[in-house]
Amino acid sequence: MSRLRNAFGVVSRREETALIGFVMGGDPTPKYGQRIAEALIRGGVDILELGIPFSDPIADGPTIQAAAVRSLASGTTSNTVIDLAKTLGRHYDIPIVLLTYYNLIRARGIQNFMEKASGSNVDGIVIPDLPAEEAEEYKETAVAYGLDTIFLAAPTTSVNRLSRILELTSGFLYLVSLTGVTGARSEIQIRTLELVKRFVKLTKGKVPLGVGFGISKPDHVRQLVKAGVDAAIVGSSFVDIIAKNLEDIEDACTNLEVETRRLKEATRNS
């Protein structure tokens, strides 16, 4: 059993829903990457998601795009983020997922990337621009290196295509809860909750379901818990905290830890 699936099992036995926390690796600089990640870990995330900055992040909204710009400007590379995962693995027993775009993997070489990641405490990879229909070579290599391939599904995903995605995804299925790009929203729409409930029925007993895009408040998390998801994925609201405290990393880390605790507490309410 992979560490991701094991983590979901542990959380389920505690009668909780998993909290997956995203930050952009190297934001605002590689110097502070470990401290920021540790703030989320101390706050209680069950799975840590680290973004590798990319110049053309098609799935990301303004908040995460700005984080990628800061990270790239500070000299962050894929090696920087993977090395951060390795460093965190020396101190914490927490699954780590990378979010990256396929160009970065292809440029490095699929096998080289997987070899580096698998030896650096990385458990799975999310690639927003890799469709299931074109993932055969990638998936085979990931399996060979013991890495979970986490595919995304969207409100527009057909039933037939979802069946194929469910055959390929491992670790969990990442449900994009709305059309558009990432970014914190003020509330979850009724149609989004209806979508989530539909996906819960389709994934139950097959693969854990994580829901992201727009999840930013404890009330959002509580609604997802009530809908029966296995994980709430939070990113933009964490990145917002970093952006508002660029001049004071101590305040950034303190606020990140506090906000993570608030969100994690919401996973315990059914």
Residues recognised as catalytic: 49, 60
DSSP strand pairing (231-234 vs 47-51): unpaired
**How wide is the angle at C-alpha 68 spanned by C-alphas 4 and 130, nearest 5°?**
50
Q: Distance between CA 197 and CA 185 in Å, rounded?
A: 19
The residue type found at 131 is: P
Beta-carbon count within 10 A of 100 CB: 25
Q: How many residues does the chain have?
A: 270
Q: Distance between CA 93 and CA 44 in Å, rounded?
A: 12
The answer to whether 183 and 214 are in contact (CB under 8 A) is yes
For residue 230, give the DSSP letter.
S
The residue type found at 94 is: I
The distance from CA 126 to its chain's CA centroid, rounded to whole angstroms, is 7
The residue type found at 13 is: R
The 3-class SS string of 167-180 reads HHCCCCEEEECCCC
Could you tell me the two tokens for 155?
């409100």
Q: Distance between CA 240 and CA 255 in Å, rounded?
A: 11
> Going along 100-215, which residue ranges are E strands?
124-126, 148-150, 152-153, 173-176, 209-212
Could you tell me the CA-to-CA distances from 85 to 17, 79, 88, 134, 227 in Å, in that order?
Answer: 23, 10, 5, 27, 32
